[in-house]
Each structure stands twice: as C-alpha cells, then as structure tokens.
Amino acid sequence: MVIVLLINFTQVVLFQIPSIPQDLKHSLATIFPVVGSLFITIQQKLAWQAKSSKAKKSTAVYSKLLKHIEHRIEIIEHGVVIDDVIELCNLSLLKEVEEVPAILVPY
C-alpha cells in the first residue's frame, strides 16, 4: 500500500512542476494510475495480509507445542511416572490444540 501512496504522491508533485511538457504529463496521468492499480491487484490476489496473520498464528501454536513436547521429554527423561502429571500435560495439550488456526486443521 505504501508503494501506491508513493506513486500517487509522485504524480501530484510532477504535475506541479511547470517545466514538464504537457504531453509527458498526459502520458504520466495514464501510466501512474495503471501502475498503482497493478500493485493493489497483486496485493489482493496474493492476500499477503491474510497469509501473514495465519502464519503468525501458526508460529505461536508451533511454539506452544514445542514447549509442551520439551516439557514432556524432560518428564520422561527423569523417569517420572505420575499419572496426574501426564493427565495434566494431556489436558494442556488439548487446550493448546483448540487454538490451532483453521488452516492447520485437516478437512
């Protein structure tokens, strides 16, 4: 979106300069909006904002799962066989899995 704003700003500035020939101004008046529209279309087509937010959510979920797995491995390595701890770990894992974004859940 910043690129589109810069294109529009450049167009306004160029039209205020009297030394630019009128023919060039007419050409630029056609070219700049087309280029701006092109950038807007590309951004919408690729859905960068939506993909970015989904990736951030996925990263947070994987981070939580990594912490859970590391904690579970530590418990196993130390030979702890307490059912309550395992049940607690399982409940926490289920709670974290509920927060998984829809993109990661199989159909």
Could you tell me the sign of the dihedral formed by the alpha carbons of 90, 92, 94, 100, in that order?
Answer: negative
What does the block give as tokens for 67? 């912490």
pTM, 2 dp: 0.41
Q: How far apart are CA 65 and CA 101, in angstroms?
A: 13
Mean pLDDT, each 10-residue run in order, the chain (107 residues): 80 86 87 86 78 83 83 76 68 72 55
Q: Who contacts 14 (Cβ-Cβ below 8 Å, separation ≥6)?
A: 20, 25, 28
